[in-house]
Amino acid sequence: MTLFSDSTGTAGTCRLGLGGFHVGAIADPGLAVEIVHRAVDSGFAILDNSWDYNDGESERRVGRALQSLGYRDRVLVMTKVDSRSYDGLMRQFAESLERLGLDRVDLLQLHEVIRPGDGEDAVARGGLRALEELRDQGAIGHFGVTGHKDPRYLVDIIERAAAHGIQIETAQMPINAVDVHANSFTTTALPAVRALGVEVLGMKPLGAGDFLASGNLTAPELLRWALGQPIAVCVTGCETIHDVDQAVAVRDSFQPMTAEERAELESRAADLLSSGKIIESYKTTAVHDATDEHPEWRE
């Protein structure tokens, strides 16, 4: 059973997901709740989150938004945990449920598979077994993994899990027009994990906002490129109502890019990369590596 049983992985079938980090980073908590409501009202399929986002504020704000009548039943809720151990993962998940005000989530993912030993660690210390038990108990609907540093580590943990009889169901990874040029998730991990029966959630279509700073790449064209990939969900961060409406407009008017349009956009992205005007900070720096700054969270 898959998270999106009717997802075909072809252009135009991709859903939108609301990035959870941004929800907790918005200065006005009321606006954050309004953005969550606007996203759900506009047909966003899933609310992304994590135990470690903004000291738990991201989960608390989504929890407040879901208290409004009817919202919980209209969207899939997911979160992530960092611990690789059985006991640690169970503890972090319990804290996430309390913050969200829920008794279950639709998807729980093991966060930041960003090191060569992460897959082996999660198997040996029981983290993956904990995910499987939570699914079997009904506390979660599905479970998966996320990574943003190197595509090989995501493929490795999925293959290691399978060797121990554990089928990972989802993998969340950067899928964007810049990614294709170096250490690419789009060209390596995406086809590899789909071949293993894993649904892909794309993230960072705008490079966590970095790609827009150059002034040479626009949000609508980057979102359109991402929505055209063979993924189930495109998770995008929204910090204003305009951001939500912009993503919805791209989805509602979606037409797959022609080969020429894709090539032109990717060529501009390559030029910007080579000139140093943009970087993929999540791959090349530790800015996005919360579990490097806090290794105790992996315990």
Average pLDDT value for residue range 205-217: 93
Q: Calculate the alpha carbon distances from 285 to 51, 149, 155 in Å.
A: 22, 9, 21
Whether the per-residue pLDDT at 71 is higher than 90: the answer is yes
Q: Which residues of 88-123 are buried (b: 16+ CB within 10 A; e: fewer)?
A: bbbebbeebbebbebeebbbbbbbbbbbeebbebbb
pLDDT band at 12 (very low <50, low <70, confident <90, very high): low
Q: Tell me, what's the pLDDT at 166?
A: 96
pLDDT band at 150 (very low <50, low <70, confident <90, very high): very high
pLDDT band at 8 (very low <50, low <70, confident <90, very high): low
In angstroms, the CA 203 to CA 206 distance is 9
pTM value is 0.96
Whether the per-residue pLDDT at 2 is higher than 80: the answer is no
pLDDT (tens digit per residue) in 160-199: 999 999 999 999 999 999 999 999 999 999 999 999 999 9
- Superfamily designation of domain 15-298: NADP-dependent oxidoreductase domain (3.20.20.100)
pLDDT (tens digit per residue) in 231-273: 999 999 999 999 999 999 999 999 999 999 999 999 999 999 9
Q: Calculate the alpha carbon distances from 144 to 64, 107, 157, 174, 193 in Å.
A: 25, 7, 10, 15, 11
Three-state DSSP class for residue 112: coil
pLDDT (tens digit per residue) in 92-132: 999 999 999 999 999 999 999 999 999 999 999 999 999 99
pLDDT band at 5 (very low <50, low <70, confident <90, very high): low
Residue 249: CB atoms within 10 A of its CB come to 13
Whether the per-residue pLDDT at 11 is higher than 90: the answer is no
Q: Are strands 140-146 and 233-236 parallel, antiparallel or unpaired?
A: unpaired
pLDDT band at 214 (very low <50, low <70, confident <90, very high): confident
Q: Tell me, what's the pLDDT at 10?
A: 58
Q: Which of 102, 114, 94 lies closest to 157, judged by CA?
A: 114
Task: Identify the helix (H) or strand (E) that includes residue 118.
Answer: helix 118-124
pLDDT band at 1 (very low <50, low <70, confident <90, very high): very low
Share of the chain above pLDDT 90, in %: 94
Task: Quote the mean pLDDT of the chain.
Answer: 95
